[in-house]
Amino acid sequence: MSPMILKRRRTAAAALTAAALLVPVLSACGSSDGDNDVKADATSPAAASAAPKAANLTVLAASSLTDVFKTAGAAYEKAHPGTKVTFSFAGSQELAAQVKQGAPADALVTADTKTMDGLKAETNGASVIAKNRLVIATGKGNPFKIDELKDLADSKIKVVLAAPEVPVGRYSKQILDAQKAEVKPVSQEPNVRAVLSKVELGEADAGLVYKTDSAKSGDKVVNVEIPDAQNAVASYPAATLKASKNAEAAAAFVAWLSTPEAQKILQDAGFQKA
């Protein structure tokens, strides 16, 4: 055999041996890559979102949202298994004080933009989720025949209003001043529910409250509508709190409040579209 042929055979054999040695190495690499792919899929954001994390949310909300938010909260929990929403209701100014003092909570919904604007350092961007208007709530049967805002200036009528630092109290002052109706309230209450309660119990003859609150009183009070031109529009902004320990879940709830499902609940309760 010639030296040239022998050399060619030796070269071919060496190449075959090298290829054989590479096969298990490549197979092992392929298997390793496959495991990494599976592990990466299991820990990806998409995979994590497929299994909702349980969260206990605390939402600070204006008193006028008491009834509707109980319904909304139940609907949200049903659609988001593992998440529980607990509400703390109070006047917006009280809620603001709680936030300033560091009360543990995840989201905030006030009955005016002014209060929310004063909490920009503590909240993330707010969005209005609903609107409301005022009505005159009078005692059963409306014995004083109250027809308009100016009637509330009659000294014979015991009128109760919310305190001026409360959103509904500010709205009340705004519309009464516009009508030049000088009303001297027998008391100034910390929230709209307290105003309505005074009228329901007969401790006051009339009061200015949100339309949605008064509608829940049934025949305990008579609602006297206020013309739009003389009325005030209350806006309800919602925002997550920067101190929340459930930031993702809180953001999801606040976003949900603007969805068709939540909006229907709000509007069925008498709130206006944002």
Give which of 248, 241, 234 is closest to 125, Cα–Cα: 241
Q: Are strands 159-162 and 206-210 parallel, antiparallel or unpaired?
A: parallel
Calpha distance 272→267 (Å, rounded): 6
The predicted pLDDT at position 54 comes to 73
Secondary structure (DSSP) of 153-202: G-TTS-EEEE-TTSHHHHHHHHHHHHTT-----SEEESSHHHHHHHHHTT
The predicted pLDDT at position 222 comes to 96
Instruction: For 193-214, write each residue's pLDDT tens digit.
Output: 999 999 999 999 999 999 999 9
End-to-end CA distance of the chain: 96
Calpha distance 67→169 (Å, rounded): 20
DSSP SS3 for 260? helix
The predicted pLDDT at position 180 comes to 97
Domains of the chain in sequence order: 53-131+235-268 (3.40.190.10), 133-233 (3.40.190.10)
How much of the chain is helix, strand and coil, in % rounded to 5?
50, 20, 30
Give which of 57, 54, 55, 60 is closest to 123, Cα–Cα: 60
Contact 207, 161 (CB under 8 A): yes
The predicted pLDDT at position 216 comes to 86
Instruction: Give every residue of the chain whose pLDDT is below 70, as ranges.
Output: 1-53
Secondary structure (DSSP) of 29-94: HHHHHHHHHHHHHHTSHHHHHHSPPPEEEEEEEEGGGHHHHHHHHHHHHHHSTTEEEEEEEE-HHH
User: Could you identify the residue written with the tokens 């995840």?
Assistant: 106
